[in-house]
């Protein structure tokens, strides 16, 4: 799943060294910038009472926007967008942080191909895949695969689909391992074969 970059980015930005900016009562305050060695702005973040609070923009070293969004109490909130060095949108995150005053880094991430077609929509919580994940065929509309994660581990029944929308395969997961039936279907809906797994190991085939 395409989450390594976003999660790495989420953690790495928290540790960026900030250039001295405004302080109030000994706490960082106001608009703070960090720079690349070439003088190009690297980050621009609003601070309040020592915490990231407000708009934030991260730049590539060529000056193009890398990511932009909003912080609240040091947590990402609302919608974040990510771009490559050419300015092409690569992903979006929609955060639920702050809803009902809960901050658990939960968000829905949408990943795009270079042509702007949706490739994946996944849910996260506490920096782990959690909830439904969908992968799409190249048209960005028909679902290729769908399933659920719990604390980063695949769980329950996962389905793979033909481009026509017919089920190609159903697999039962437990703790990120095949566990139970794995049924392969022909496109006409008939069963090609059924495999039975336990803790990731093949037990039988029929």
> With a cut of 70, which residues of the chain have pLDDT below it?
1-20
Question: According to CATH, what is the number of the domain 4-18+74-205?
Answer: 3.90.930.1
Alpha-carbon distance of 108 to 79, in angstroms, equals 10
Q: What's the pLDDT score for residue 6?
A: 52
9's enclosing H/E stretch is: helix 4-12
Q: What's the pLDDT score for residue 18?
A: 46
Q: Is 125 exposed, middle or buried (0-12, 13-18, 19+ CB in 10 A)?
A: middle
Q: What's the pLDDT score for residue 99?
A: 87
Q: What's the pLDDT score for residue 55?
A: 98
User: Global pTM?
Assistant: 0.86
Q: What are phi and psi of 104, to 5 degrees?
A: -125, 15
In the three-class reduction of DSSP (H, G, I as helix; E, B as strand; rest coil), residue 8 is classed as helix
Q: What's the pLDDT score for residue 59?
A: 98
Alpha-carbon distance of 79 to 174, in angstroms, equals 32
Q: What's the pLDDT score for residue 8?
A: 42
In order of 147, 185, 195, the CA distances from 160 in angstroms are 9, 10, 15
Q: What's the pLDDT score for residue 22?
A: 81
């Amino acid at each position: 799943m395409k989450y390594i970059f976003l999660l790495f980015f989420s953690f790495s930005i928290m540790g960026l060294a900030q250039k001295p900016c405004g302080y109030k009562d000994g706490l960082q305050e106001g608009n703070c910038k960090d720079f690349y060695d070439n003088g190009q702005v690297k980050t621009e973040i609003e601070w309040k009472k020592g915490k990231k609070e407000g708009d934030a923009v991260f730049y590539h070293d060529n000056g193009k926007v890398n990511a932009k969004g909003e912080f609240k109490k040091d947590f990402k909130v609302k919608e974040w967008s990510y771009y490559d060095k050419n300015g092409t949108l690569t992903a979006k995150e929609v955060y639920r942080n702050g809803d009902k005053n809960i901050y658990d880094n939960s968000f829905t991430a949408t990943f795009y191909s270079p042509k702007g077609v949706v490739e994946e929509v996944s849910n996260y919580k506490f920096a782990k895949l959690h909830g439904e994940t969908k992968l799409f065929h190249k048209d960005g509309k028909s679902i290729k695969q769908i399933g659920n994660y719990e604390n980063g581990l695949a769980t329950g029944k996962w389905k793979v689909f033909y481009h026509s929308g017919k089920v190609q395969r159903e697999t039962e997961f437990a703790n990120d391992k095949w566990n139970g039936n794995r049924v392969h279907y022909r496109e006409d809906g008939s069963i090609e074969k059924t495999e039975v797994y336990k803790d990731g190991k093949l037990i039988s085939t029929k």
